[in-house]
Amino acid sequence: MPDFAKTLTAWQRRHGRHGLPWQATRDPYRVWLSEVMLQQTQVETVIPYYERFLARFPDVRALADAREEEVLRLWSGLGYYARARNLHRAARNVAGELGGRFPDNAEGLARLPGLGRSSAAAIAAFAFGRREAILDGNVKRVFARCFGIDGFPGERKVEARLWRLAARQLPLRGIGRYTQALMDLGATVCVRGKPRCDACPLASRCVALRDGRIGELPAPRPRRARPQRAVTWLVLMHAGRVLLERRPAPGLWGGLWAFPETGARGLAAFCRRELDCELRGARRLDVLEHQFTHFRLRATPVVVVLRTAPAAAVEAPGRLWLDLADARDAAVPAPVKTL
C-alpha cells in the first residue's frame, strides 16, 4: 500500500500521543521497562507503576540487586506477575552476563526472559533505531482491518501473514516515530469496540471500512468455555494480624503473598494441624471473583479468629503474620489487597 508509513508518521506528528514518560529517552533500560509493563496493560495504568519503579530502580543494576519480593511488591496490582519475575531475571542477566549493556538488536533482546518478538522489536526500534516490525494485539487489529485479513490473528498462518505484511510497510527512515504511530493508532483510533473511523488517517484505504466489515475484522478468538476454579481463602486473624503464605513459583501469583487455601470443611482441624492452635470463630464472606485470561477464579473468604497466638506458624517457612495495614502494602495480588 503506497505511502502507508508516510501517512501514519504524518498523523502521529499531529494527533499521536506525546509526552508519555518513556518517550523522551532512548535509554534501553527505560524503553525495556516500559515495553514489559505495557504488555497486555493500558498506558494509563502503567504510568504510575513505571514512575515508581524508576524512582526505586533508576538503572538495570539497581533492579538486578533488588530482592524479588520487593520487585513483586512494587508490581502488585499490575497483574500478569510472571512479567515481574522475568523482568528481574532479565535485569540480572543484563547486569551480570552482559556487563550492564542491553543487546542492541531485536534478535539479542528476544533472548532476554519475558520478551517476545514484538516487544524485542519495539525496544530495538525505540532505543537503537533498528528497522524492525512490531505486531502486538493493537497492531494486528490495524493491519487486519486496513488490509482485509481474514481469520483469527492468533492462528499461526494468519499471524505469519500479518508479520510479512508488517515487514513490507517498514519505512527506510524514522522507524521510531512510525512504530509509535502504529501503537497510537491501534490504542486510540482503531480500537476494538467502537473505532473512530472518522479520525483515522487510513480510512480512505481501509478494506474493512470499504466493505462494511469493521465489526468482523479481525476475527475473534474461537469461543471456548472458560473454566472456573473455586477456592476457599482462610483469612486467619489474631490480635489485629493476618496470616499470609508465599505462593510457589512458577504458578499463579508465584512469589506473591496470599491467604492460605483449603477446603471449606475442616477449618478446626487445619488450625490444629498447621498452626497448633484453636479457632474461636469463623465467618464466611461473599464470594470474590477474578478473571484471568484462561479461567475464572471464585474465592470464598472465611475469616477465622484464633483463640491463642499461633506460635507454630511464626517460624514456618513461607508464612508471615502481618498487621493489616502492613499486609495491604505487601507484595500481594490485587484480589487479596481488595479483601
Secondary structure class of 243 (helix, strand, coil): strand
Secondary structure class of 9 (helix, strand, coil): helix
97 catalytic residue (yes or no):
no
Q: How far is Cα 262 from Cα 115, in angstroms, rounded to an integer?
A: 35
Secondary structure class of 261 (helix, strand, coil): strand
Q: How far is Cα 312 from Cα 277, in angstroms, rounded to an integer?
A: 8
Query: Please, are residues 105 and 291 in contact by the beta-carbon 8 Å criterion?
Result: no
Q: Kind and range of the H or E element at 279?
A: strand 279-284
Of the residues 35, 132, 245, 274, only one is catalytic, namely 35
Q: Cα angle vertex 142, ends 189, 211, to 5°?
A: 95
Residue with cell 497483574: 79
Give alpha helix (H) positions in the chain: 4-15, 28-37, 43-56, 60-65, 68-75, 82-96, 106-109, 117-128, 137-147, 156-168, 175-188, 207-210, 267-270, 311-314, 324-328, 334-338
Active site residues: 35
